[in-house]
Chain A
Amino acid sequence: MFIEIKNLTKFYANYLAVNNINFHIEQYKTVGLLGPNGCGKTTTIGMMLGLVTPSNGEIIIEKKNINSFKRDQILKRFNFASPYVELPKKLTVRQNLEIYGRFYGVDNLSNRINEISGDLDIKNFFERKTGELSSGQKNRVSLAKSLINKPEILLLDEPTASLDPDIGDFIRGYIENYKSKNKITILLASHNMSEVERLCDSVIMMKKGKIIDNGTCESLIKKHGRNNLEETFLKLARSKDEL
């Protein structure tokens, strides 16, 4: 087991954001983290990234508690992308990738920047300021930043939110291709069910801070007697009682 989440709980001052969740992610697999807005997905990702201190429970990487690693050593193995988190707007795309490459101690940085910018088709706006880019361009730059260090563990929070179908499909295709060629473990939080079906080996369904179901997309669709993951999601999200 590569990543194991044990009894993870997060209390904020007046509410319970994540309620004693348990799951694991096998190495080189892609797991979808699904659930309605406010169900605790972002808090769970935040705890895995060390941005939020859990109130209880453990995050275990390769059988070792994440706290036993040095902060910079463990974070070197992770990366993260989200359209809600941006790169410095006044810096050019090249400058941003250079800065983050340096943070992650990437060897042969200029080669890596060249490689990833070619793959993600961002070279034609390389010298433009990041704040001047369109949403689709920003998302591709954000994804480039998240892969600059060839992370072992990639956390993606709605990577295709607010993108047009063409760019969304490009991003999904890129992630699909990238994971087939690289040894990477991905946790993908998304509201796009077709994206989840396309990219994820299994999914975890959350609601009100709890995991209410998990399994492969096919098994969940079958278990809940629906035609696709979207219908399954709606059934679970709208159910009054936890299943």
Chain B
Amino acid sequence: MNYKKIYALGLRHIYLIMNSFPRVLDLIYWPTVQIFLWGFISKFFTLSSEYYSNTVGVILTAAILYDFLFRASISFNMMFLEEIWSRNFTNLFIAPIKISEIIAALTLTAILRTLIGLVPAVIIAIPLFGVSVLKLGIPLIFLLISLYLFGITLGLLVTSGLLRYGPSFENIAWASLFFLAPLGCIYYPIEILPNFLQIIAKGLPLVHIFEEMRSILINNYVNYANILKSISISMVYFVFGVIVFYISYFGAKKRGTLINMGE
């Protein structure tokens, strides 16, 4: 892989953000609204629920981590959609840039978009609700890595769909994360799910991430084996996502859809 080309594609998206103040506002707006909403819900629960009574901010921390996953995935999708909307698809795919470099550039640039949106919201949560995700300590880094890998995987699967079915697949891009959220056990323990769904949920990294988050915040106990499991599962899905993307790319070349994408 050529890092200069990865940087060039990243720079294309950095310029896009820099050129538009409303775009930066849009990136910050939604996570902030999300934090406000869940902050107040969290505050109410900590006052009224026995389960959460000793731990301030479990729900808000879950909301922040889920938003991190959501933003990572949406950022990846948005950057890919940006090429379709601007009718730049053909120019990009005839440039001497490898598919692996495109994936790497989108993956690395998505973190920037994610952080632009989420960091102000996370900072606001500290004085406003007395909640800081940093309370998770060192494990936070590993939980974020796992979430990021899984978020990018969802992005890869959605963009594969865009390659396969064209811009009409766009709606799925927005719906993809909501589909998995109930199985992710973001705001509740896995025991809430029916047995058969628990089996499916355990196959996702989200359950392990959010169970671990609750374990750290409520029981003050870090299980690194569980964190490692979530990263391993995320990595497997990521490799699967990359393979699906390549299959879709070669399929699109066969169907000739790359040449008309965005027209």
Contacts and interface: CB of A to CB of B under 8 A. Distances in A.
Interface stretch (B36-44, B111-119, B254-262): B254-262
A164 to B, nearest CB: 22
Contact of A46 (B15, B87, B256): B256
B135 interface: no
Interface in A52-109: 52-53, 71-76, 78-80, 82, 84-92, 95, 98-100, 102-105
A100 B263 contact: no
Nearest to A50: B94
Contact of B94 (A10, A49, A88, A129): A49
A12 B256 CA distance: 8
Given A51-B258, A52-B258, A87-B88, A92 B96 contact: no
B256 A43 contact: yes
B90 interface: yes
Interface in B80-113: 82-83, 86-91, 93-98
A13 B90 CA distance: 21
A88 B259 contact: no
A20 interface: no
B253 interface: yes
A210 interface: no
A100 B256 contact: no
Interface stretch (B3-11, B141-149, B176-184, B199-207): B3-11
Contact of A76 (B89, B96, B253, B258): B96
A145 interface: yes
A75 B96 contact: yes
Interface in A1-34: 10, 12-13, 17
B259 A43 contact: yes
Chain A's interface size range is 35 or more
Contacts of B4: 102, 105
A137 interface: no
A135 interface: no
A214 interface: no
B12 A91 contact: yes
A43 B256 CA distance: 8
Contact of B88 (A42, A53, A86, A102): A86
Most buried by B among A46, A51, A75, A145: A51
Given A85-B90, A87-B91, A88-B82, 12 more contacts: A42-B259, A46-B258, A82-B90, A87-B88, A91-B12, A91-B19, A99-B8, A99-B15, A100-B95, A105-B5, A105-B96, A129-B19
30 contacts: A13-B255, A46-B259, A50-B93, A51-B94, A51-B259, A52-B256, A52-B258, A53-B250, A71-B96, A72-B97, A73-B96, A74-B96, A85-B87, A86-B86, A86-B87, A87-B86, A88-B82, A91-B15, A95-B15, A95-B19, A98-B11, A99-B8, A99-B11, A102-B4, A102-B5, A102-B7, A102-B11, A104-B96, A131-B86, A145-B91
